[in-house]
Structure 1
């Protein structure tokens, strides 16, 4: 009886571990410190670390069973213990919030109410992707384990400075930093942890811009 009970207990542990190792963060879901996404292949992990950094790792294993990791991408938000990563359902913005709910990093360019209910998906090729409900990709980390066809051009860019905007659905003024973007379209930027500051990026002149396919 003890052997059977031990076997059942071990099986439950394995099952629970596999159930927790999901590869998708649905809209409205959160990665808390210590949580992670794992690709179906088990070769890649997105870890919300206790130090506040969100890091995408490739997992290596040799013939002896030794394993080690290589960091492929990160939000560079170390030093913010208690930070969490949120896949926002309302606008498809993927945001790392500090313990005080202030935004530390965000995908930004996906922030649009037209993209609501999108999800974050860790692919088996190592690419972390935001997918719309129709499975159209709208953002990725560019970490696919395959050759990329990249080109750099000098194009018109907008943003790159602090600008005034308004909190969505109100007339309240807000001030945020706008990253350089290749479009003048109005975007929503996380503000004070729970709001979106709507800003139309100002023209910033011509800058080099790299795209990869």
Structure 2
């Protein structure tokens, strides 16, 4: 079965795509689209569609559709869940139909993708309109699309913004900071690692001319672009020179930077100089994002800030040189909170256990202003961060860089 972008191969032969099938079967737990998606060991893989699966295809348990180089993989699992995995088996999307063993995914010609079991539909993604759908595509950046010819009739904006140490980024793979596709990191098939912002190249390794090159995120902390010479020996083309940083994370950030974090979750390398205001705690973990729909009954319904899930008593720092303009204790919603003003920008940190500054106090980047807590309307220990520019709420991750 063949299309312009798709080749079906049997599982034993498909293992050449980076040895990915066995690792995929390992059970994992991840938050996907606000729901807990628990992956399960799929049935023995029978077919792999590379790039796209043609309309009319039934994706049975164990079957998968991959991006062109195999780094993003959409798998129909034996538990009934259709799951897309990224690099390092990171879950990017799930149909949330687990608990229905034997279910299949049907790429219909009727402009729909259905999950069914025994003829009963469990889930559907569809688009009205004329013209038959022709293929389900998994792209090089993790997005998926149901196509009618070249026209996208259903689009999934899944993305991967980070890769953990111990993994590779193969040629042809694109990482993105968010669904907008404005900020990307592309390991090109010619061997050049390129960062773009708004379609413009802002950084690159200048290692083009080496088709087949790849990026390795070493557990000792180094990020290396490798190729092979005529004798098949590995040759380093570029390195971050961070081999003492320890195992960490490469992150494509919404502030327009690409940053390598070490074992202590602190920045050890970045593609661009870091300027501006800093995130108020050490660490890169995020639990709630700006603009998240928290459901009916929440006031405000849409999350006004971004949450850092840290233990009670974690140090909370100033984001730069500024002035403390408000300190409030025992607010019904925010609990204990502090507002610091940096020119036209204010940063609010809330749910604190202890406030360590006073109104009017001048602070700098290294000033500890509070301890994190679980006060006010908080369902667990974290720091809630809100940013306003000229009085208008903005996404904190677009203004503050991780330390």
TM-score, normalised via structure 1 length: 0.53
Higher relative contact order (CA 8 A, sep 6+): 1
The question of whether the paired residues in 1 share the 8 Å contact of 2:80 and 2:99 is answered with: yes
Question: Can you give the 5+ residue segments of structure 2 that lack an aligned partner in the other structure?
Answer: 1-11, 18-46, 160-174, 182-290, 292-403
**Which residue of the other structure, out of 53, 62, 66, is the alignment partner of 1:38?**
66
The question of whether the paired residues in 1 share the 8 Å contact of 2:48 and 2:66 is answered with: no
Say if 2:157 is the partner of 1:142: yes
**What does residue 101 of structure 1 align with?**
119
**Which residue of the other structure, out of 24, 40, 56, is the alignment partner of 1:28?**
56
Question: Can you give the 5+ residue segments of structure 1 that lack an aligned partner in the other structure?
Answer: 1-12, 61-68, 153-213
Cα 1:101–1:15, aligned 2, differ >3 Å: closer, same or farther? closer
CA distance in 1, matches of 2:14, 2:122: 35
**Which residue of the other structure, out of 87, 105, 116, is the alignment partner of 2:132?**
116
Q: Summarize the alignment of residues 36-75 of structure 1 with structure 2, pairs less than 5 Å apart.
A: 36-60=64-88, 69-75=89-95
CA distance in 2, matches of 1:29, 1:115: 17
CA radius of gyration, larger in: 2
Q: Summarize the alignment of residues 113-192 of structure 1 with structure 2, pairs less than 5 Å apart.
A: 114-133=130-149, 135-144=150-159, 145-146=175-176, 147-149=178-180
The question of whether the paired residues in 2 share the 8 Å contact of 1:44 and 1:126 is answered with: yes
CA distance in 2, matches of 1:17, 1:101: 34
Q: CA deviation at 1:149?
A: 3.9
Cα 1:17–1:83, aligned 2, differ >3 Å: closer, same or farther? farther
Structure with more helix by fraction: 1
Paired residue total: 127
Cα 1:78–1:15, aligned 2, differ >3 Å: closer, same or farther? closer
Q: CA deviation at 1:81?
A: 0.6
After superposition, the C-alpha distances for 1:24-62 in whole angstroms (9 at most, x for unaligned) are 1111111001100111122110000000000011022xx
Alignment root-mean-square deviation, CA: 2.6
After superposition, the C-alpha distances for 1:80-134 in whole angstroms (9 at most, x for unaligned) are 0100000111x11110101x110001003x144x13132100001000111111x
> Match of 2:86, SS?
strand
The question of whether the paired residues in 1 share the 8 Å contact of 2:158 and 2:179 is answered with: no
Cα 1:73–1:51, aligned 2, differ >3 Å: closer, same or farther? same
> Match of 2:50, SS?
coil
